[in-house]
Structure 1
Amino acid sequence: MANRELTLAAFGSALLSLAPLTASAADSTEKRLQTVTVQAAKATPVQAAKAELDEVPGGTSLVTQADVEKGRAATLEDTLAFQPGVYAQAAGGNDAIKISIRGSGANTSPGYFREGTKFLFDGLALTGAGGTPYELLDTQGLSYTEVLRGANAFEFGALSLGGAINFVTHSGLTAPGTRIKLEGGSFGWQKQTLSSGGAVDNADYFVSIDNARRDGYQDFTLAKAQGLVSNFGYRFSPKLQTRLFVRYREEYHENSATLTRAQLKDNPKQSNAATEGARADSTKRGSTWVGSKTTYTFDDDATLVAGLVYHNYPQILSRQSTINPNYWDWRDINYSLKYNRNDQLFGLPSATSIGWSSTEHIRSGVRTYRGDKDLGVLQKQVEYDGSFDHVFTLGNELGLSDNLYLNTGLSAIEIKRDVNVTYSDRANSSGLPSHYQYDQWKLAPRIGLRYYLTPDIQLFANASRSIDPPSSWSSSGSGVTSNYAKPLLPQAANTVEFGIRGTQGVFDGSLALYKSWIKDELLTVQVLAATPTTAQVNSTANASPTVHQGVEAGLTTRLWQGANGDLLSWRQAYTLNDFHYENDPLFRKNELPGLPKHVYQGELNYQFASGFYAGVNVRSVSSTAVDYANTFYAPSYTLWGARFGYDDPGRRWQVYLDLKNLTDEHYATAIQPVYNANGQDTAALYPGDGFGAFTGIAYNF
């Protein structure tokens, strides 16, 4: 939203020319009308981003970090709460959380790279051909978060079923001054953050450093991390400006162990022998993400935005294990170019965008070892160098009338996967070569409409196609190729969506209904049947056709507002996840495991005009299928919580108390999908935290 200014000097001059000359004027007592300037309040970056999201004909939402930090902000589970259609749950309290939008990446468990959703920082890609590493997906330095579901993420060149999540960093303009924040609470959780920002002439800066540790609720779930976030901006002229973003993070965590339903009910704090024996842990030795974004504005107000990212994210998995420790070396180069212009098309207002983005492995691979903790003996080696995703986008918004807008777009993606098993201590029995390439172009069109019933209420509809390439490591993780039937193919889906959003009186909300018909969804599939001498082999592979459909509803209601500004509000979010096979030869129309069918969240909050606030909240989740055969389910649960705090109206200091799981419910926060549990109580449930109390205080100066 641009700053709008109206100068009335000419109007004043016209009035003067019409005024009759009087004797007093002749006597030099003339009164001259001064120049009057009427200027609308400049929109904040958050307001501008919200206005842009409202122009997308589909499901979107925006989360301000200031609202999140009225309570604990330990992981993205806290940031993405109350977002319809988004499932974000931590296991073990670390950053390796399960994130799914509209069932994207349903097959993955916590601890793996995220798949099915594109993640960005400030519009620059974090996600690469290998998926999304999670250690940088923390809450540090964020101003706000944009969530664009499905094809509504077209602007970012995101073609995934889940769409995109864009994290926007504070700048020296949005977070001036110095801030110290100290937090702590149950399960040994503690976090310290120091940030500073400011502006000097045409430059601004923001730098934040943090240190965090959590001993864990479940046994053997220690997590610790420290990192840096910075944002430097410089304005060369009104037409040219640039920004440099740097993110660095080190992290170590022990993996949460999966439990049976009986173990979960009896003692969710316990681990299991297999996890303890394997010493399952993850060491992020230092992940670096450096991004640059430069914007040039032409004389006709068209813009050209160029982005470049270098991403280095090495990791060691199961370092202490004597079974299968392995070292992953990942280095990506990501670049983007986008041109936007506004003009007339067929005499109608038109906005056109042309974009190009690329994410490519310039050095990637895994080496597995046996022996001591120094990783001394080579066992296997796989390389993925040269794998990439290139995306070209062409989009247009056409104003058909004052109330009706048509959005069209076409994306083309080139997917290349280069897998090379350079060494293995075991024979390749997969039926696939040890080195193979997949290189193909795919098209993804979209069309959308939005119609304004009133200036504040709009209807929207869209139809789109999404493409989800398999991650580079899916075909061969740490040795010979694991897919016995054929190389993995990209997952493709056709989606339709209808909805409404807006504000009316005391209500502010949105409702979206969607349905996706998916071909070649990446799921766990039986690739070799059992024989009298061997067990069946299950692996990630392309499944038979599936359907993802659901309802995403969010509503905030102002229940009461006092004359002094006190406000009682009720915030709600509901998600219906109906994900199932279309007609699988084995599982018929079974629902897909790993995600609950119903999720409801609500919060009743009282905000005092003085800055104090108090609220109670609830999260209710239905039972969740654990296996594709639907013979075993995780139990449903309901969690109650409460938040209290004080935000100084002068923004000098803040304090909060956040109480989680007040009834100390034993529940499964996430699921490790199983092919067929045969009705047995299987160890596939990640335990959620018990009752916890968390507090924090921040001081700004």
Structure 2
Amino acid sequence: MKKKANSMRHEASRNHSIAASRAALLRSLSVGAALCISGGIAGAQEAAPQVEETVVIKAKALKESEKAKARLDKVPGTASVVNNADVERGRAANAEDVLAYQPGVFAAATSGTGANKISIRGSGLNTFYQGYSLGIKYLYDGLPITGPGGTQEDLLTLGGVDYTEILNGANAFAYSALSLGGAINFVTHTGRSSPGNFVSVEAGSYGYRKYQVSTGGVSASGDTDYYFAYIHNQRDGFQRNTPNTGEDYIFNLGHKFNDRLETRLVVRHRGEELMNGSTLSLAQIEADPRQNRLLSGRRKPGTTLITSKTTYTLDDQSKVEFGLAYNDYPLDNGWAYTTTPQDWKSTDLTTSLRYLRTGDRLFGKLSNSTVSFSSTNLVRGDVTGYNQNVATGVRTFSQYTKYSGSRDTVLALGNDLRLNDQTTLSTGLSFIEVDRDVRIENAIRANTTSNPQSVKYIDRTVAPRIGLRFEASPTLQFFGNVSRSVDPPVTWQIGSTGNPYLRPLMPQKATTAEVGLRANSDNHEGSLTFYRTWVSNELLTVQIAPPTVGNPLGDNVNMNASKTIHQGIEAGLSSKLWKSRAGDRVSYRQAYTWNDFNYRNDPTFGKNELPSLPRHVYQGELLFQQAGGFYAGLNVRATSSYYADFANTLKAPSVTIWGAKFGYEEPGKKWKAFLDFRNLGDKRYAVAANTAYDARALTTPAYNFYPGDGFSIYSGLSYRF
């Protein structure tokens, strides 16, 4: 046995020696072949024994937008990511530009100004939108700019943004967002995503101009990064007498203290002044869409948003995120050409805390859990109304309404449980507390109604969520979820300065079920979702009196509706149609949304459609990209007709708008230029609408439609150094 063992050891040693010799020979041959190609066999024979082979494999680092997409692909519902660099191949002036081609999202800029009508799944579908956006929670860098007073739109110009996350409906659970529409999170550039110095200039039709300078970088140690940007925008306007101008200052500073502790501070400041384009009748749009019947303006003396997020890693499995946000957003609404201007003061303070734990075992299954807390307090909120002499500009006091103390608070528990290699169960439970404190403290008009002058209540709701994601293959997954959503009324919906009384409004609550799939291959990537939402106390806005001189928005009433249904289809597909050996390629991206919103059995309107959003929306872009940097694209946006009144008697016509873009991106990414053509057919059309109660009862034409821009050309040039 001993001899046999020695023999086996000798044989193993011999085999190891042979293998080593073969490896050395292969190394010598490979090095010799390489040197033979470059300069001679003799040199290779001398060099071969002295060369050690080293193999280095470098993995491509993922961009932050790619990491976000990988994370959102694990959500059991509709969610998407927009890389703003893709948008900046053409004009990127407002939310309509950034949110294009996103399933389930409707975004339209009214006459190209900063006022955007944005709706997801019919959220805030018919609220007036010259100053506020409703039904969606908006965030910057994961911290909200939406509070008890809603979302003012001046920060929706999206300056200095790296990428944008869109989470439809309750799929925004991770951001403590429980609105029907979900959440949109804008992520600011850092010194890592936008290094060096950057200069860009854009100009175009209707006096459009945009200038930007920025600088960013990382310290020598790699622990600190910084980004600073200044942006100036202005436009004369498509409709006459609708100029707007604004300035953004953006600063982002991040620091990593050690492997466990890091923090980031982001400061945004924006001031703007603009004149609103008035609504027109369909006949007026057809005759002269550039006319502006009624002049009014809004001025933001300076919005300041300061966010801070600190992350502490407890161990390999858990970490804590602590966030603070200060948002001060004053508004001088109707500062010119109106008889009833208002001075708004609003300051939100948000505190957020998240605990994330991964890699646990629950019932023997892999489990990831989160606990999150978010509270946004309106620490100062009030509006002072005036009567104004339009000719002289002299103001006299009319009413003071206070909102301070209103609050939105959410505590959420979430868990992802890996049932098997293909199936993940997502569960969540949110505890929501809505505090509304609205009171008219002084008014020159007497309240002769039975409505109160003070409304204060606390509404507590439990909102569960359950979802399932099944990975049929590495390229195909199916998902479904059932979720609860809550949309509390914003403070000014209860009352502001129009009447000496308040209208108590209850939170809108809904249950949504959705099913869908995601699929990808070498040439195609897409998603398809079907959803249905049962809504109670839907918050709707109706225009009960048309706009007039001095009152350009007309008289609008906010109300809780009877039970309604929101359902639809959200579909998106990106395809690589062709690629040459040289690297030239042709791609096509498209998005389709079907909106079907209606009353269930309203005493007045029966099962009428809810107005103000197209039933069908399609967007597509065919893009050729040459390997050397040149690109050319053709795009289309088609919307079906839709009602503009609750009685379903007045319709906005369907429309198809074509556009094209051409540009060049230098392969080294130092400079790029573009030409962006909009509305090639110079169509006269309504881009968005306000909502009437019953158009048949109007004694004047239905001035409910905002005209879309006519044929326009935009150009841009940027350089990074």
TM-score, structure 1 as length reference:
0.92
Aligned pairs (5 A) from 1:297-696: 297-321=313-337, 323-342=339-358, 343-371=360-388, 376-478=395-497, 480=499, 487-524=504-541, 539-678=557-696, 681-696=701-716
Q: 1:407 to 1:481 in 2, by over 3 A?
A: farther
The answer to whether the 8 Å contact 2:252/2:264 transfers is yes
Per-residue deviation, residues 135-186 of structure 1 (Å, max 9, x unmatched): 0111210100000000100000000000000000110011100000000000
Q: 1:489 to 1:379 in 2, by over 3 A?
A: same
Q: 1:17 to 1:589 in 2, by over 3 A?
A: farther
CA distance in 1, matches of 2:590, 2:671: 28
If you compute each CA radius of gyration, which structure gives the higher value, 1 or 2? 2
State which drifts further: 373-382 or 452-461: 373-382
Q: CA deviation at 1:94?
A: 1.7
Is the helix fraction higher in 1 or 2? 2
Number of matched pairs: 670
Query: What is the SS of the residue equivalent to 1:433?
Result: coil
CA distance in 2, matches of 1:206, 1:472: 35
Query: What residue in structure 1 maps to residue 267 of structure 2?
Result: 246
CA distance in 2, matches of 1:371, 1:114: 26
CA distance in 2, matches of 1:563, 1:20: 45
CA distance in 1, matches of 2:20, 2:129: 86
State which drifts further: 625-634 or 315-324: 315-324
Amino acid at match of 1:696: G
Query: What residue in structure 1 maps to residue 35 of structure 2?
Result: none
Per-residue deviation, residues 92-114 of structure 1 (Å, max 9, x unmatched): 32212111000000121231311
Query: What is the SS of the residue equivalent to 1:663?
Result: coil
The answer to whether the 8 Å contact 2:407/2:436 transfers is yes
CA distance in 1, matches of 2:307, 2:445: 41
Query: What residue in structure 2 maps to residue 531 of structure 1?
Result: none
Query: What residue in structure 2 maps to residue 11 of structure 1?
Result: none
CA distance in 2, matches of 1:16, 1:445: 66
Query: What is the SS of the residue equivalent to 1:524?
Result: strand
CA distance in 1, matches of 2:16, 2:466: 56
Is residue 2:76 matched to residue 1:60? no
Q: Structure 1: 5+ residue runs without aligned partners?
A: 1-14, 529-535
State which drifts further: 349-358 or 517-526: 517-526
Query: What is the SS of the residue equivalent to 1:78?
Result: helix
The answer to whether the 8 Å contact 2:452/2:501 transfers is no
Per-residue deviation, residues 539-573 of structure 1 (Å, max 9, x unmatched): 21100000000001111121111111111111111
Query: What residue in structure 2 maps to residue 182 of structure 1?
Result: 201
Query: What residue in structure 2 maps to residue 219 of structure 1?
Result: 240
Q: Structure 2: 5+ residue runs without aligned partners?
A: 1-11, 22-47, 546-553
Query: What residue in structure 1 maps to residue 305 of structure 2?
Result: 289
Q: CA deviation at 1:46?
A: 1.4
Query: What is the SS of the residue equivalent to 1:73?
Result: coil
Query: What residue in structure 2 maps to residue 237 of structure 1?
Result: 258
CA distance in 2, matches of 1:479, 1:634: 28
CA distance in 2, matches of 1:230, 1:17: 67
Per-residue deviation, residues 249-306 of structure 1 (Å, max 9, x unmatched): 001111111111111111101111xx23xxx110000000000000011123311000
Q: What is the aligned counterpart of 2:163 among 125, 129, 144?
A: 144
Q: 1:364 to 1:74 in 2, by over 3 A?
A: same
Amino acid at match of 1:506: N
Per-residue deviation, residues 307-329 of structure 1 (Å, max 9, x unmatched): 00111110101112451011000
The answer to whether the 8 Å contact 1:421/1:479 transfers is no
Amino acid at match of 1:673: T
Percent identity of equivalent pairs: 46
Query: What residue in structure 1 maps to residue 137 of structure 2?
Result: 118
Amino acid at match of 1:495: T
Per-residue deviation, residues 343-366 of structure 1 (Å, max 9, x unmatched): 111111110000000111001100
The answer to whether the 8 Å contact 1:325/1:375 transfers is no
Query: What is the SS of the residue equivalent to 1:678?
Result: helix
Aligned pairs (5 A) from 1:79-94: 79-94=98-113
Q: 1:123 to 1:174 in 2, by over 3 A?
A: same
Q: 1:648 to 1:417 in 2, by over 3 A?
A: same
The answer to whether the 8 Å contact 1:523/1:543 transfers is yes
Q: 1:454 to 1:622 in 2, by over 3 A?
A: same
CA distance in 2, matches of 1:23, 1:284: 76
State which drifts further: 152-161 or 42-51: 42-51
The answer to whether the 8 Å contact 1:254/1:281 transfers is yes
The answer to whether the 8 Å contact 1:190/1:213 transfers is yes
Q: CA deviation at 1:36?
A: 7.0
State which drifts further: 148-157 or 568-577: 568-577
Q: What is the aligned counterpart of 1:42 among 61, 65, 76?
A: 61
CA distance in 1, matches of 2:325, 2:202: 32
The answer to whether the 8 Å contact 1:424/1:479 transfers is no
Is residue 2:185 matched to residue 1:169? no
The answer to whether the 8 Å contact 2:279/2:703 transfers is yes
Q: What is the aligned counterpart of 2:288 among 235, 250, 267?
A: 267
Q: CA deviation at 1:597?
A: 0.5
Query: What is the SS of the residue equivalent to 1:178?
Result: strand
CA distance in 1, matches of 2:556, 2:188: 41
CA distance in 2, matches of 1:23, 1:456: 42
CA distance in 2, matches of 1:295, 1:36: 36
The answer to whether the 8 Å contact 1:368/1:379 transfers is yes
Amino acid at match of 1:203: T
CA distance in 2, matches of 1:18, 1:434: 95
Query: What is the SS of the residue equivalent to 2:151?
Result: coil
Q: 1:186 to 1:16 in 2, by over 3 A?
A: farther
CA distance in 1, matches of 2:703, 2:386: 27
Q: CA deviation at 1:241?
A: 0.3
Q: CA deviation at 1:478?
A: 1.4
CA distance in 1, matches of 2:670, 2:693: 54
The answer to whether the 8 Å contact 1:195/1:209 transfers is yes
Amino acid at match of 1:226: E
TM-score, structure 2 as length reference:
0.90
Query: What residue in structure 2 maps to residue 6 of structure 1?
Result: none
Q: 1:571 to 1:480 in 2, by over 3 A?
A: same
Per-residue deviation, residues 517-542 of structure 1 (Å, max 9, x unmatched): 000000136999xxxxxxx9972110
CA distance in 2, matches of 1:62, 1:295: 23
Q: CA deviation at 1:368?
A: 1.1
Q: CA deviation at 1:38?
A: 5.3
Amino acid at match of 2:566: H
Q: CA deviation at 1:33?
A: 8.7
